[in-house]
Amino acid sequence: MAEDVTHLIFEHLRHIRRSQDETRLELGEIKTRMNALEAAVGPLQSQMGDMQTRMAVQNSRLDRMEERLGRIERRLDLVDHQT
């Protein structure tokens, strides 16, 4: 009887160990994939920063062009003076 209980306990322990080994392997895979994902996201963040900088420059240029156009329209008396 005691041997049966011992054998049952050992079977459960083997199962637990096997399960832990599988979990450890899966966790290793997840870490590898996460590292690859982080490596891919880094350059994307840099590119987005560059794009935002370019957009800010373009917006600034458009603002200056709008101001210049407004001055030209006023000089040529092409706009209503009510606004």
Average pLDDT value for residue range 59-69:
97
In this predicted structure, what is the pLDDT of residue 2?
83
pLDDT band at residue 80 under the 50/70/90 scheme = confident
Q: Dmax over Cα atoms in the chain, in whole Å?
A: 109
**pLDDT for the residue 83:** 52
Residue whose entry in the numeric block shows the structure tokens 């000089």 = 75
Confidence of residue 1 (pLDDT cuts 50, 70, 90): confident
Q: How many CA atoms lie within 13 A of 63 on its CB side?
A: 6
Average pLDDT of the segment spanning 31-57 = 95
pTM value > 0.75: no
